[in-house]
Chains A and B, each alone.
Chain A
Amino acid sequence: MAGFILLDGCTTLRNEVDPEQLGLAAPKLVVSGFLCPQDTLLAIKVTRSNTVVGDSISLLQPGITVTNAIVTLSEGDRSVVLPYYKIHPSADSAYSIPAKLLPIIAGRTYKLKVVTANGQVATSTCTIPQPVDPLRIKFDSLPPSRNQPTRYFVLVDWQDPVGQTNAYQVAGIFRYTTSTNIREERYNSLSFDDENRGLFSDVGRDGTEIESGRAFLTQTTTAGNQQTTFYNQYTSASVTVNLLSIDQSYYRYQEAVIRQRRSRGNPFAEPVIIPSNIDGALGCFAGYNNATLTCKLK
């Protein structure tokens, strides 16, 4: 009898829990927008999150885009409403206007207000940081190994301003032409191999010179002859680095996104909560300022 009861118990030790207990009332509003003085367009994306428990069809869908919200950007007594339309042929739609209608200027604070058709309101503010110029681009290589030919990379250095709280995102492109196709310039985005893929904070190194991780210079097509030197592979080659001076809320948001994705799939990892600087929504509304440096390699 006891054995029967035990066996019966073991078969039902896994039980479904009412999703209401998770607080799954409704999908949440998600707002993303990044303002920069160098941009030609101001764009805000408004979506809704998917609840984690539900049918597989809705879970497979990307964030549900909200198309009928009223999105307002303002600075001082200037205010603009961003209509929803397709910005670029290959891009997803967003709320957008030409940047000249509301100039983005370093040091100024911008307000965002999103009101959805069903009355949900999300608000946030951001201040545009001052730009920080890249000091230099270092070009270097790793010697060939058994499995790899010589690998070429760049590093970026910049001077962090003293006494300020700064954060940075390093980005850029590698542009080149090859002898096989001298007229067509190709480019690849730079991917930096430091811990946070080009995302830096000056905590613990205020006022010092900061150096990025390595960004390896790779071609979109496979190299014809791996034995040739860098200078023989390309007819022209240059690297353009964008040093984005970013505000703290963006740093905290993006750093958490990277950390969460790194531990995804590990059931023992401590969950990473992604902060939001938007009242009434998930996401991030932040300012950044771009400074560019180009290094012609050939």
Chain B
Amino acid sequence: MKVGLQNTYHRFTPSAVVLQNAGINQSVNSVSTIDVLESGVYAEDTWRPSSRLRMNGGLRLSYFHQTGVNYLKPEPRISAAFTIKPDLSIKASYALMNQYVHLLSNTGIGLPTDLWVPSTDQVKPQQSQQVALGLAKDFTNKGLTLTVEGYYKTMTNIINYKEGASFLLVNDPTSANNVRWEDNVTAGRGWSYGAEALLQKKVGRFSGWAGYTLSWTQWQFAELNGGQPYYPRYDRRHDISLVGIYELSKKITLSAVWVYGTGNALTVPVGRYDTYRAGNTLVYGGSPGIVQTFFNNPRTADDYGTQKNSFRAEPYHRFDLGIQFHKHKKHHERTWEISVYNLYDRRNPFFYRLESVAATATEPARTALFRYSVFPFVPAFSYNFKF
């Protein structure tokens, strides 16, 4: 049996500074901090009812404390593995988990602003339950292991910004201090399911793995998207990683990594249209001569489509290549590495922006969507040592 204790102390400093067409001489007010203690005590045990069956059960008691707020929640987990043949086993697991620090992401096309915020009296801890069923097969003669796993996960008390809400108001630099972020968020539920396949090779001159995950994640909030489910920003349908390391000699290795992920789900304006108010056809007070005119003074609105996050950013992928030169010294091992990040110079999207394009001799001025990227082809040189 194993037992353990864990303590994490967080200090949050929620603040933001807005500088708009201003000289950078604005003073930044000190903001209040939020101190949080997160603790956990756990015990787990493994037992073998038969030579083929191995079971593991555990219980973690998690505790969260912030001024005026305390949460104590049990987190049971159980897993079982059954060996069908020496090279084939099946496994199943269940786990309940609580997360006291929430990730708050925006869904517009602008700069991604991911914030980590603590649970409070208003914002309950996020809770998830997951069941998984998997199969593991060893191909001993080839040095390969294949695992295939399916999972289903439910989440409660997840949070998202309310529509129209912002962590800060651009025209009010002090807004981040004045607005309680809890007032800008709304709670809902979510679910996720999918399958993962992983083929690993750990022995021989060539090692590495190939992993593929097919998954769906959906969120549902009473206050968002008309109460209908939608795909959150980080819903990723396909996720692929290919990693290979080849030992040219005892002193030189080659490494290559290729990753691919479906683009983020975002909410993008696709059009603009006029909206009107009711009551503009009334004869006020019954007096002739005072008639509001019909369908005048429309208010222009942005059309974001009928579903939240119905726009998919372009997929993320890149290829990294490296060569490592190893040498065992007397007391340590040193490695020189020459590598290239994003070898084929893929322009992965970091954020999108609608911008005006000036007129040319042949085309009128227009509005266009632009993708902004970071980290293009980046060569690197590094030195590591292990002792």
Contacts and interface: CB of A to CB of B under 8 A. Distances in A.
B4 interface: no
A91 B295 contact: yes
Given A261-B301, A268-B168, 6 more contacts: A17-B352, A36-B279, A55-B363, A55-B365, A56-B367, A240-B284
Given A2-B379, A276-B306, A49 B271 contact: yes
A171 B279 CA distance: 8
Given A15-B371, A187-B290, A261-B299, A271 B267 contact: yes
B167 A268 contact: yes
Interface of B: 106-108, 110-111, 113, 160-170, 225-226, 267-279, 281-287, 290-296, 298-299, 301-308, 310-311, 314, 345, 347, 352, 354, 356-357, 359, 363-374, 376-379
Contact of A23 (B166, B302, B305): B305
B364 A56 contact: yes
A273 B107 CA distance: 12
Interface stretch (A217-225, A227-235, A252-260): A252-260
A268 B379 contact: no
Contacts of A59: 272, 366-367
B117 to A, nearest CB: 15
The 10 closest A-B pairs by CB, nearest first: A9-B376, A49-B273, A34-B278, A240-B285, A270-B161, A259-B164, A63-B274, A269-B166, A267-B110, A56-B365
B294 A273 contact: no
Contact of B107 (A62, A96, A261, A270): A270
A52 B50 CA distance: 66
Contacts of A92: 294-296
Contacts of B377: 5-6, 9
A105 to B, nearest CB: 17
Nearest to A87: B294
Nearest to A40: B283
8 contacts: A13-B376, A47-B274, A53-B366, A54-B366, A266-B169, A267-B111, A274-B304, A294-B285
A15 B347 contact: yes
A62 B299 CA distance: 10
Contacts of B163: 256, 259, 270-273
Contacts of A268: 106, 108, 110-111, 113, 166-168, 170
Contacts of B285: 173, 175, 240, 292, 294
**B273, B298, B366: residue with the most chain A Cβ atoms closer than 10 Å:** B273
Contacts, number: 261
Interface of A: 2, 5-6, 9-10, 12-17, 19, 21-24, 27-28, 30, 32, 34, 36, 38-41, 43, 45, 47-57, 59, 62-63, 87-88, 90-92, 94, 96, 169, 171-173, 175, 187, 189, 240, 242, 244, 246, 250, 252-254, 256-257, 259-276, 282-284, 286, 288, 290, 292, 294
Contacts of A15: 347, 370-371, 373
Contact of B302 (A21, A36, A260, A284): A260
Nearest to A89: B293
Contacts of A57: 364
B227 to A, nearest CB: 10
Given A15-B370, A55-B364, A271-B107, A94 B295 contact: yes
Contact of B347 (A12, A96, A274, A283): A12
A290 B359 CA distance: 50
B176 to A, nearest CB: 10
A254 B374 CA distance: 39
A45 B295 contact: yes
Contacts of A45: 276, 295
Given A19-B369, A56-B365, A38 B274 contact: no
Nearest to B292: A189
B282 A290 contact: yes
Contacts of B372: 13-14
